[in-house]
Homo-oligomer: A and B are copies of this chain.
Amino acid sequence: MTFMPDGNSNSKNVKTLKIVQSEVQSTNKIALSVDCVIFGFDENKLKVLLIRSDMKKFQSKWSLLGDLVKPEEDIDSAAYRILKQRTGLDHLYLEQVHTFGSINRHPGGRVVSVAYYSLINIQHHKLKILDNELHWHDVDSVTDLAFDHQEIFDTCYTRLQKRVQEHPLGFSLLPNKFSLRELQNLYEAILGVKLDRRNFRKKFFAMDFLIDLDEIEENVPHRPGKLYKFNYSKYEKRNKKWIGIDF
């Protein structure tokens, strides 16, 4: 990055560290925050974690989980910290999506927010902190969030829908052992479509990233399905060539 004071077109324009430091200090009137869109999957529905806004102005509205980034904190670390504080969880899939920087997006002042999304397995981690009515909402019912959180949510949801088709993210929403039916329900919930069961199975078996655990479901009121887990190490070694122009 280069600093360009207005009107300065001198080509011998070299700055000492001290000059740059004072430029940085005089310009840092912008606060930085992180907002997390945390997706989960339960009862064959895609869910998202929301809380009641703790700002008076948005008192009746739902809001994403976020916080200001501390001056000495990496932004990715801030996202992990928020996840940890809100869900008690570490080591989750977390992806930066977009940075929202409209001037008036936040009533408290100029706050630029970096949006992340994360996927967590609802079964494995019951929520322990329930402040501000923290709980899971069906993604379909998410409307009219506080701040510009609706836009952030929509962006993250769209990103998830795209990513889940290109990368095996979805497995982190499922139990360690899952049936193909559960996997298909997950994809149908995320993408909002119905898929042909036979073709779905064919596709996943052809990928050859599922490990047959030689176990079957229990306590289901019908013929139990076989259980699988995802072969991450095999997936990591694959080298996909991705040339395919298609608008």
Give residues in A with beta carbon < 8 Å to B. Answer: 1-4, 9-11, 13-17, 20-21, 23-25, 27-35, 51, 53-57, 59, 63-76, 82, 85, 96, 98-99, 101-103, 106-114, 129-133, 147, 149, 162, 164-168, 187, 191, 193, 195, 203, 207, 209, 235, 238, 240, 242-247
- Is the CB–CB distance between B238 and A247 below 8 Å? yes
Q: Which residues of B contact A242 (CB under 8 A)?
A: 162, 165
Q: Report how far A127 CA is from B58 CA in the complex, Å.
A: 48
Q: Which residue of B lies closest to A18 (CB)?
A: B108
- Is the CB–CB distance between A14 and B55 below 8 Å? yes
- Is the CB–CB distance between A30 and B32 below 8 Å? yes
Q: Which residues of B contact A71 (CB under 8 A)?
A: 27, 29-30, 110
- Is the CB–CB distance between A114 and B131 below 8 Å? no
- Is the CB–CB distance between B69 and A11 below 8 Å? no
- Is the CB–CB distance between A23 and B108 below 8 Å? yes
- Is the CB–CB distance between A53 and B2 below 8 Å? yes
- Is the CB–CB distance between A131 and B56 below 8 Å? no
Q: Knowing A17-B56, A56-B15, A108-B20, say if A131 contacts B74 (CB, 8 Å).
A: no
17 more contacts with CB within 8 A, not counting A20-B109, A74-B103, are A1-B113, A1-B149, A13-B131, A13-B132, A27-B31, A27-B68, A28-B31, A28-B110, A32-B101, A69-B101, A72-B103, A75-B101, A96-B98, A96-B99, A165-B246, A168-B247, A203-B245
